[in-house]
Homo-oligomer: A and B are copies of this chain.
Amino acid sequence: MNITTEQLFDDARTHNAWLDRPVPDELLHRLYDLMKWGPTSANCCPARILFVKTPEAKARLVPCMSEGNQAKTAAAPVTAIIGMDMHFYEKLPQLFPHNPEARSWFEGKPEVIHSTAFRNSSLQGGYFIMAARALGLDCGPMSGFDAPRVDAEFWLGTAVKTNFICNLGYGDPSQLFPRSPRLAFEQACRIV
């Protein structure tokens, strides 16, 4: 499918106000079917995603958000909770079939599990945002929420922990703030 770099990077903005235009479930399936191809270490794919769409589920999520994130989360057609499965290594026999040892690189090693799950589910969060934009959706990623409360409300009985939360929909460009500056190449990069 043809897209542009402007659509993903230069012209894409974080949105806080949403047009009254629904996001069909089919688009959420297409979003996952793009983002899933992004690379993770040992193909561990730790990200788990809850697409919160119904008024009932939204009503459980909104009070978990920090005050400044409540109204926009209530208004967004979909809010994705991007979690990380702390038992991701149990799926390695399916995901990394050519090395039956892979599971043992993680099992019983909480620090390696945590850093691998956190790094790779965040990488997948980056793929998620790019895939959403590729499909014409706008994103509003947030890290201001009560994480233990979201975990208890949405991931109870699983080994999944919330990483970040991202509103999805069609943003209202008239409500955008002026764009914040970025670091110059020389501030962020060096070629050696």
Give A contacts to B, CB under 8 Å. Answer: 1-6, 8-10, 12, 14, 25, 28-29, 32-39, 41, 43, 45, 47-54, 57, 91, 94-98, 115-116, 118-120, 122-127, 129-131, 134, 139, 141-144, 154, 163-164, 177, 180-183, 185, 187-192
Measured between beta carbons, the chain B residues less than 8 angstroms from A1 are 4-6
Verify A119–B185 contact, CB threshold 8 A: no
13 contacts between A and B (CB under 8 A): A2-B2, A10-B34, A14-B39, A39-B141, A43-B182, A51-B190, A52-B192, A91-B183, A94-B181, A98-B177, A119-B143, A122-B123, A154-B192
Given A129-B39, A134-B5, A181-B97, CB of A32 within 8 Å of CB of B118: no
Measured between beta carbons, the chain B residues less than 8 angstroms from A180 are 43, 95-98
